[in-house]
Amino acid sequence: MPETLGFIGLGKLGSAIATNLLAAKFPLRVYNRTPEKAKSLIENGAVLSHTPQEAALPGGILISVVSDDRALQEISSEQVLSALGPGGLHVSMSTVSPETSRRLAEQHGRGGVSFLAAPVFGRPEAAAARKLWICNSGPADAKKRARPIFDAISQGIFDFGEDVGAANVVKLAGNFLLTAAIEAMAEASALAEKNGIPRADLLNMFTSTLFNCPIYANYGKRLIDADFENAGFTIPLILKDMRLVQQTAFQSQSPMPLANLFCDRYLTLLAKGKANLDASALALGAAEDAGLKW
Amino acid sequence: MPETLGFIGLGKLGSAIATNLLAAKFPLRVYNRTPEKAKSLIENGAVLSHTPQEAALPGGILISVVSDDRALQEISSEQVLSALGPGGLHVSMSTVSPETSRRLAEQHGRGGVSFLAAPVFGRPEAAAARKLWICNSGPADAKKRARPIFDAISQGIFDFGEDVGAANVVKLAGNFLLTAAIEAMAEASALAEKNGIPRADLLNMFTSTLFNCPIYANYGKRLIDADFENAGFTIPLILKDMRLVQQTAFQSQSPMPLANLFCDRYLTLLAKGKANLDASALALGAAEDAGLKW
């Protein structure tokens, strides 16, 4: 029988991952700030923890999928680290800054706990279908120990070495790339429509030829359908990621003019009261600038 | 036996297309400003024309693949239109502005000549392998007549209706999208390298997962190898296209902040004496801004 896992963070992504771990026979001790979200997991055999530390077993594995650096910091409390203790492993799947991962790894290490950064690529639908991609970085033995967990929830794992912050940089770079794809499709679509060409004709051609890959196909379809309400990945979350890109770019002296533009696009959406829309609503910026209604 | 075709413009792309037309048994009358480039085609049975009008037969088809709007204007002379005459068809495969196509279509029409815009996607290597994608727009009967030609040189044809400028807008949008992909990969790669992650590790992951499509794979490989000297598509050509994007965006009131950035990136490369590099050298902008040497 697989070992019991602690699991913290039952948002859309976390819930999908936890469900697949249960299906793969991992006994789970789950914690979420709003315990209602644990309901269906409990019905399927998970044990509800009332505090983060209750989810952690001595020398065990704790997985966290939380929304930002602050939440990750909060659940990495002294109580949680004491509960895990020597031989414990914290697998951090959240999208956070590389600096946070490096600082937490050091803090965990003082208590004999390993810290592995393992952010994932994939929207909640992909997580539910076990189609996530995982990039990890940190201690080699931690990666080896976490491998059966990753195999149960993903379609592939990429290793970025011993620097625990590296996987976070890669994750941020990936979210930046997908945002760039949306902005580029949006500007091209606006240009097409202002010239009498339906954006569906333009995007269907490109996403079936030169750009026939998941990001362009999925987000291209959202642009065509103006499907921005059905938010798997909301604007405050993607804006948080773009700010982490800017912050990491700043700290490493790597100017990123596109990232700056994307932050402004998302800020405008917030300013217009559209925080509940999907990340793909970035496209509304180029459309509205061109006087189009999507 | 297929009908004889006039063919003007034997640059890298034009030569590859003409070679495939000869291989498909179309008799060719070829013209190029520098006739030396026709040498291997002549050896394979093409007839050399010494003027553009000599390539045109009464009521025949004339194909042109030239470098810019001015060159297309020049070969669309009164002599050439008279030589084609009523029932003639000019298939224009160059990347030019939609305005130029619309104006030329009108001018051709006055002499009873049809004008079809049929720009292609694909670098010279793709053209040689008959892997071009063609988008066409213009009169329906012209498309039907040109179809056997397109079938001999491409892997697929997309129709954008009767407005002869539409296919040019789509072509410009496509070159804009590919440039955006290069810039995004470049900024992400610079960020990665400034954080200790080789760009090959980053790009190999993304181009085999979320971005596993031809544009990302091909240009990602060029970025990894810093392969900018082997220019299939030089900077003056891509900059001309980005200026046409800006011009079309201006005329149709469709702001495109990314296109403006790309023009500046390419201008900087020209200013630094790097006109002979490939379009993918756009990536050097983000790298140099971050103090990196690729």
Q: What is the pLDDT of residue A23?
A: 96
Please say if the pLDDT value at position A232 is more than 80: no
Tens of pLDDT, residue by residue over A55-71, are 999 999 999 999 999 99
Please say if the pLDDT value at position B232 is more than 90: no
DSSP string for A66-110: -SSHHHHHHHS-HHHHHHH-TT-EEEE-S---HHHHHHHHHHHHH
Q: What is the pLDDT of residue A1?
A: 80
Q: What is the pLDDT of residue A101?
A: 98
**Residue A187 forms contact with B (CB below 8 Å):** yes
Distance CA B16, CA B125 (A): 8
- Quick count: other Cβ atoms within 10 Å of Cβ A116? 25
What's the whole-number mean pLDDT along residues B58-67?
A: 97
* Span A5-164 CATH architecture: 3-Layer(aba) Sandwich (3.40)
Please say if the pLDDT value at position A231 is more than 90: no
Q: What is the pLDDT of residue A222?
A: 97
Task: Report the residue of B197, B219, B223 to disrupt the A interface, i.e. the one with the largest count of A CBs within 10 Å.
Answer: B197
User: Which chain A residue has the Cα nearest residue B246?
Assistant: A191
- The candidate with the shortest Cα–Cα distance to A235, out of A179, A288, A286, is A179
Distance CA A173, CA A177 (A): 6
- The candidate with the shortest Cα–Cα distance to B75, out of B5, B8, B4, is B8
Q: For tokens 């390539």, name the residue.
A: B55
Look at B256 and A190 and tell me if their CB atoms are within 8 Å: yes
- Domain B5-163 -> CATH class: alpha beta
Q: What is the pLDDT of residue B35?
A: 94
- CB contact set of B245 (below 8 Å; sequence gap of 6+): A191, B172, B173, B175, B176, B256, B259
- Can you read off the two tokens belonging to residue A181? 């794809």
The identity of residue B278, as a single letter, is D
Q: What is the pLDDT of residue A230?
A: 85
Look at B210 and A183 and tell me if their CB atoms are within 8 Å: no
- Domain A169-289 -> CATH class: mainly alpha
Please say if the pLDDT value at position A124 is more than 90: no
Look at B176 and A187 and tell me if their CB atoms are within 8 Å: yes
Tens of pLDDT, residue by residue over A75-95, are 999 999 999 999 999 999 999
Task: Report the residue of A164, A168, A254 to disrupt the B interface, i.e. the one with the largest count of B CBs within 10 Å.
Answer: A254
Helix residue ranges, H only, A112-234? 124-128, 140-153, 166-194, 199-206, 214-225
Distance CA B17, CA B81 (A): 23
What's the whole-number mean pLDDT along residues A2-21?
A: 96
Look at A176 and B187 and tell me if their CB atoms are within 8 Å: yes
Strands A120-121 and A132-136: antiparallel
Q: How far is B285 from chain A (nearest CA, A)?
A: 10
Q: How far is A89 from chain B (nearest CA, A)?
A: 24
Judged by DSSP in three states, B278 sits in: strand
Residues of A in contact with B289 (CB under 8 A): 254-255
Q: Are the CB atoms for B110 and B117 separated by under 8 Å?
A: no
Q: Are the CB atoms for A207 and A216 separated by under 8 Å?
A: yes
Residues of A in contact with B180 (CB under 8 A): 180-181, 183-184, 187
- B171 flagged as catalytic: yes
Q: How far is A190 from chain B (nearest CA, A)?
A: 6
Q: Look up residue B34 and give its DSSP letter.
A: S
Q: Are the CB atoms for B243 and B263 separated by under 8 Å?
A: yes
Distance CA A65, CA A10 (A): 7
Residues of A in contact with B178 (CB under 8 A): 210
- The candidate with the shortest Cα–Cα distance to A180, out of B242, B180, B287, B283, is B180
Residues of B in contact with A163 (CB under 8 A): 196
The pTM (predicted TM-score) of the whole model is 0.96
What's the whole-number mean pLDDT along residues B56-63?
A: 98
- The candidate with the shortest Cα–Cα distance to B37, out of B51, B64, B23, B16, is B16
What's the mean pLDDT when you consider all of chain B?
A: 97
Tens of pLDDT, residue by residue over B234-277, are 999 999 999 999 999 999 999 999 999 999 999 999 999 999 99
| Band of pLDDT at residue B230, cut at 50, 70 and 90 | confident
Compute the Cα dihedral for A151, A156, A162, A163 and give only its sign: negative
**DSSP H or E segment with residue B91:** strand B89-92
Distance CA B225, CA B248 (A): 34
What's the mean pLDDT when you consider all of chain A?
A: 97
- Can you read off the two tokens belonging to residue A102? 């490096």
Task: Report the residue of A137, A206, A242, A284 to disrupt the B interface, i.e. the one with the largest count of B CBs within 10 Å.
Answer: A206
Query: Where along chain A do its domains lie?
Result: 5-164, 169-289
Please say if the pLDDT value at position B3 is more than 90: yes
Judged by DSSP in three states, A161 sits in: coil
Tens of pLDDT, residue by residue over B111-128, are 999 999 999 999 888 999
ipTM entry: 0.96
Q: Look up residue A279 and give its DSSP letter.
A: G
Start-to-end CA distance of chain B, whole Å, equals 52
Q: How far is B293 from chain A (nearest CA, A)?
A: 13
In order of A165, B70, B95, B105, the CA distances from B73 in angstroms are 56, 5, 13, 11
Tens of pLDDT, residue by residue over B12-48, are 999 999 999 999 999 999 999 999 999 999 999 999 9
**Residue B173 forms contact with A (CB below 8 Å):** yes
